[in-house]
Amino acid sequence: AVLDARVQHGPRKLALVRIPASNLAEGELTHLERMPVDTDLADEQWDNYCAALVAEGWELVEVDAAPDLADSVFVEDAVVMFGDLALITSPGAESRRGETEAVERAVAALPGVTIARIEAPGTLDGGDVLKVGDTVYVGASSRTNAAGIHQLRALLTPHGFRVVAVPIGAALHLKSAVTALPDGTVIGHPDLIADPTLFPSFLPVPEVHGVAVVAVADDTLLMSAAAPRTAELLSSLGYRVVTVDISEFEKLEGCVTCLSVRVR
């Protein structure tokens, strides 16, 4: 009962989500071969993903649906939160440029939020931004260009952040290669990240689908059901691990991190 009370009366945890588009199956692919996507199953997996966040005490804010924007469900790519600062991105894929407008509207409606934007010719996808304490790692990927990184650095340095750019080759985004545990340890798969020595504390995980974790609480990680050995490893480190099956989104190079934006 004490714990329940804490969940209900603690600080509000808000996360943005966006319902899958009708043409989800036509989403961009960079590294994977196109596989048939079961859109009914995708809808069900998205519902379960949302339910898992709610079960961990998150209140969901739905961005207006974009039925024609195939990759719009991957809402993390359109905005990055730095405290109360919402950075609206400039998606690197032409087909994704239309996603930011409704995302900006949704975050602008949240109390206390200030908006900043990455401007063309700069490009930056939210999936390339990993925050670890005061350090912001940014992937130099096929989606995020030098001008985008330059703007990010100019914006964040005055706020006391250290911006560290990481060359990305084998993965779509920085966060398809590495994410961070609540204690700041960066986890990643050796096949996907050329130089893990960039990170002060790096733990290799045994599965490619295991690199993406969302810290839904200080002691709880949300991750893909497709990485059971990684789940076991992280459980052995004292974390509570919640898994969700997101196979249909993984076929489109998405992962647990990109299906929501944890606002605060």
What are the residues binding ligand CIR (CB under 6 A)? 27-28, 30, 71, 74, 76-77, 93, 96, 127, 172-173, 175-176, 252-255, 258
Binning the chain into helix, strand and coil, the percentages to the nearest 5 are 35, 25, 40
Q: Smaller CB distance to ligand CIR: residue 91 or 196?
A: 91
71 belongs to an annotated ligand binding site: yes
Active-site option among 50, 173, 189, 255: 173
76 belongs to an annotated ligand binding site: yes
Q: Smaller CB distance to ligand CIR: residue 192 or 255?
A: 255
Instruction: Using alpha carbons only, give the angle 142, 148, 153 rounded to the nearest 5 degrees.
Output: 130
> In whole angstroms, what is the distance from residue 117 CA to residue 104 CA?
9
Would you call 173 a catalytic residue per the annotation? yes
Instruction: Using alpha carbons only, give the angle 177, 193, 120 rounded to the nearest 5 degrees.
Output: 65
CB of 53 to ligand CIR, least distance (A): 16
Q: What is the largest CA-CA distance in the chain?
A: 53
29 belongs to an annotated ligand binding site: yes
Active-site option among 50, 209, 255, 258: 258
CB of 127 to ligand CIR, least distance (A): 2
134 belongs to an annotated ligand binding site: no
Cβ atoms 56, 220 nearer than 8 A: yes
> In whole angstroms, what is the distance from residue 198 CA to residue 50 CA?
33
Q: Smaller CB distance to ligand CIR: residue 151 or 176?
A: 176
Cβ atoms 241, 210 nearer than 8 A: no
Q: Smaller CB distance to ligand CIR: residue 19 or 172?
A: 172
List of E strands, 54-133: 58-62, 79-82, 85-88, 114-117, 129-132
> In whole angstroms, what is the distance from residue 81 CA to residue 114 CA?
10
CB of 177 to ligand CIR, least distance (A): 10
CB of 111 to ligand CIR, least distance (A): 26
204 bridge partner residues? 188
CB of 120 to ligand CIR, least distance (A): 18
Would you call 31 a catalytic residue per the annotation? no
96 belongs to an annotated ligand binding site: yes
143 belongs to an annotated ligand binding site: yes
- Positions at the binding site for substrate: 29, 71, 76-77, 96, 143, 252
- Positions at the binding site: 29, 71, 76-77, 96, 143, 252
Residues with catalytic function? 173, 258
